[in-house]
Amino acid sequence: MNEIIKKNGINFGITLGVLGIASQMIVYAMGGISKENAILNSILQFVFWLAFLAIRIVQCNKTKKEFNGFISLKELFTTLTVTVIIGILISQSFTFLFNNFIDVEYGNAMNEFMNEQQIVAQNAMKSFTKVTSEDLKKIAETNNFSILNILQGTLIAFLLSSVMNLILAAIFKKNQPVF
């Protein structure tokens, strides 16, 4: 792997991880996600999503500049992927540790709220799919901060980020002209 790709991937990945932790701590300082502050939390999450996007755009420009203005789709996608992997791993590791070991009471309250919201969503979907009381019971017993569910969330976040990485890489790539 090219040194520029590796360096930028690691540096921007750490930045994304720290930003992910900051977003979680701001939500925590505001009392967590709840019905009372759902709109404010949604706005905050959107602002942080824009910040994550802006960081990756800056990364694309910086990496392209370090390649003297010409960079392939593969090189950009690779550096963005390294960034996302590092950022997600840092953020998700913090989520697991914080909710299971640092503030277990908060983690339990957040887990309960998340399960309640999933039940509300399932009940709303009853007209489209068959939702049994057994399904609702399983949701209520789910531990959203278990290692398995954190890994599942990590995988989903990585897959969604990969789509965005491909789009960004396609926008910012610039191949050297062939004469």
Half-sphere exposure of 30 (CA within 13 A, CB side): 19
Higher pLDDT, 135 or 58: 58
Asked whether the predicted pLDDT for residue 131 surpasses 90, the reply is no
| Stated pTM of the model | 0.89
> Chain-centre distance of CA 13, in angstroms?
12
Q: Which residue in 110, 121, 114 sits closest to 140, CA to CA? A: 114
What pLDDT score was predicted for residue 25?
Answer: 95
pLDDT bin (cut points 50, 70, 90) of residue 120 is confident
What pLDDT score was predicted for residue 72?
Answer: 94
What pLDDT score was predicted for residue 137?
Answer: 82
